[in-house]
């Protein structure tokens, strides 16, 4: 393990944002204004960009890029109880899709699976199709349809109050890209934009066709030299014959980013997507000796090499600092 450099921390000041203006027990009505596929190509999965008009509700003008909102699907669960609210990351900028804070959006992947017995008591012979209740409900909605919404929620996965004081490393797996779309629009197209900060966004997906909003991000990178769009394609073979791997493998290889971004006292790191991503990224930061600004590692792990950290140990003994924002599930 390399020695950690002395940290020169520049903690972000986060703005106050509004939360829970609409509670799950009293959802309000939004109306779908558009629903489109947002994947780069034909894929085995289906991800849609869904925009919802929340005019006249407490959500109008109050949500913030990086926050989430709730959707209450109609109907009841297998026990006959009304479905509970599900949270979705907001993919639109703080001013909404319309620039007036009336239309928010999200990035929704259809949950499609086969029944998997979870315990010995479950029917071991079942293999029927299982469709996620809320994701498929949302993805099926048509322009003009009503949808029950709540929120906003979340106060930490947002841009700082002084965005120009920082540079940004955005790390996303799959639909975890949603909040970064909104944040990038705030930074480049918002009232104080375009930002002069350096922004590196790394997007991890299985196949090139799974990339989300790829045309939007390419256009942004073409028009702004300070926005760097990196893609990591886990299941495709690279020119050197190896698989693309995960985001932490990519970061390990991008040595120039270690100095320009990870060692900079301006950098804030945001991770959104699969929970597994946090493990690889945390281990890598610690292994490179660059973890101190982003992680607090408790004494219990002092004598354990980062490569040997287990996911349980990371959950218990590694905490993000104020410079590392996490939204992983
Ligand atoms: P996915 O398609 O299953 O995976 C995206 C990419 O991540 C694939 O390349 C996958 O590789 C890779 N991956 C798998 N395990 C990884 C690991 N341990 N470290 C790094 N990369 C890994 O993603 P998805 O189905 O869109 O799921 C996105 C997840 O993000 C969901 O769990 C969703 O709940 C969560 N999410 C959270 C928020 C939030 O917290 N606000 C917002 C949006 C989404 P392989 O498939 O090749 O293994």
Angle at 30 between CA 29 and CA 36, to 5 degrees: 145
Q: How far is the CA of 203 from the centre of ligand 1 (A)?
A: 10
Does residue 215 sit in the same domain as residue 173?
yes
State the pLDDT at residue 9: 53
Same domain, 240 and 308: yes
- Based on the domain organization, do 194 and 304 belong to the same domain? yes
For the Cβ of 246 lying below 6 angstroms from any atom of ligand 1, the answer is: yes
- pLDDT tens, residue by residue, 93-116: 999 999 999 999 999 999 999 999
Q: What is the dihedral of CA 28, 30, 36, 37, to 10 degrees?
A: -10
Q: State the CATH number of the domain containing residue 304.
A: 3.40.50.80
pLDDT at residue 241, rounded to an integer: 86
Are residue 192 and residue 140 in the same domain, yes or no?
A: no
pLDDT of residue 228: 98
Phi and psi (nearest 5°) for 186?
-60, -45
Residue 141 contacts by C-beta under 8 Å, 6 or more apart in sequence?
32, 35, 50, 147
| pLDDT, average across residues 25-47 | 97
Residue 313 neighbours by CB under 8 Å, 6+ apart: 300, 301, 304
Q: Answer yes or no: is the C-beta of 277 below 6 A from any ligand 1 atom.
A: yes
23 within domain boundaries: no
Rounded mean pLDDT of 163-175?
97
Q: Please calculate the CA angle 163-88-53 and round it to the nearest 5 degrees.
A: 85
Q: Do 91 and 118 fall into the same domain? A: yes
Q: Give the model's pLDDT for residue 7.
A: 47
pLDDT exceeds 60 at position 60: yes
Output the CA 176–ligand 1 centroid distance in Å: 7
Q: Do 223 and 323 have their domain in common?
A: yes
Same domain, 148 and 230: no
Per residue in 107-159, pLDDT (tens digit) is 999 999 999 999 999 999 999 999 999 999 999 999 999 999 999 999 999 99
Q: How far does Cα 36 stand from its chain's mean position?
A: 19
Q: What is the CATH number of the domain that holds 76?
A: 2.40.30.10
Do 87 and 138 reside in the same domain of the chain? yes
Give yes or no: residues 139 and 83 share one domain.
yes
Beta carbon of 68 within 6 Å of any ligand 1 atom: yes
**Structural domain ending residue among the three candidates 95, 124, 153:** 153
Distance 273 CA to ligand 1 centre (A): 5
User: Can you give the pLDDT at residue 289?
Assistant: 94
Q: What whole-number percentage of the chain has pLDDT above 90?
A: 93
Same domain for 148 and 176, yes or no, is no
Both tokens assigned to 116 = 């998997």
Range of the domain at 130: 28-153
- Say yes or no: 170 and 308 in one domain: yes
Number of domains making up the chain: 2
Nearest CA, atom 43, ligand 1 = 176
Count CB atoms within 10 A of the CB of residue 260: 15
Find the 172 Cα to ligand 1 centroid distance in Å: 8
pLDDT tier, 2 (very low <50, low <70, confident <90, very high otherwise): low
Q: Is the dihedral of CA 274, 280, 281, 282 positive or negative?
A: positive
Co-location of 201 and 142 in the same domain: no
Phi, psi of 161 (to 5 degrees): -65, -30
């Amino acid at each position: 393990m390399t020695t950690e450099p002395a940290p020169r921390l520049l903690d972000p000041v986060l703005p106050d944002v509004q939360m829970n203006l609409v509670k799950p027990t009293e959802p309000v009505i939004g109306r779908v204004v558009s629903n489109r596929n947002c994947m780069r190509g034909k894929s085995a999965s289906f991800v849609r960009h869904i925009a919802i008009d929340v005019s006249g509700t407490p959500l109008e003008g109050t949500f913030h890029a990086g926050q989430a909102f709730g959707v209450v699907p109609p109907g009841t669960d297998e026990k006959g109880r009304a479905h509970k609210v599900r949270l979705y990351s907001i993919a639109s900028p703080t001013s909404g899709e319309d620039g007036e804070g009336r239309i928010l959006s999200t990035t929704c992947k259809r949950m499609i699976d086969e029944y998997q017995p979870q315990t010995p008591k479950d029917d071991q012979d079942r293999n029927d199709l299982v469709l996620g209740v809320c994701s498929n409900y949302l993805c099926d909605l048509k322009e003009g349809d009503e949808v029950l919404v709540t929120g906003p929620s979340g106060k930490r996965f947002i841009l700082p109050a002084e965005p120009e004081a920082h540079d940004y490393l955005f790390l996303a797996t799959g639909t975890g890209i949603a909040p970064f779309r909104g944040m990038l629009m705030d930074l480049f197209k918002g009232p104080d934009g375009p930002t002069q900060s350096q922004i590196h966004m790394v997007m991890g997906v299985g196949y090139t066709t799974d990339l989300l909003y790829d045309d939007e991000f390419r256009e942004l990178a073409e028009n702004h030299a300070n926005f760097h769009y990196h893609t990591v394609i886990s299941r495709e073979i690279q020119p050197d014959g190896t698989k693309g791997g995960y985001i932490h493998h990519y970061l390990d290889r991008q040595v120039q980013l270690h100095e320009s971004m990870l060692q900079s006292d301006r950098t804030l790191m945001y991770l959104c997507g699969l929970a597994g991503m946090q493990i690889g990224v945390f281990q890598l930061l610690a292994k490179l000796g660059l973890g101190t600004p982003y992680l607090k590692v408790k004494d219990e792990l002092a004598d354990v090499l980062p490569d040997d950290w287990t996911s349980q140990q990371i959950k218990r003994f590694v905490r993000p600092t104020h410079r590392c924002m996490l939204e992983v599930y």
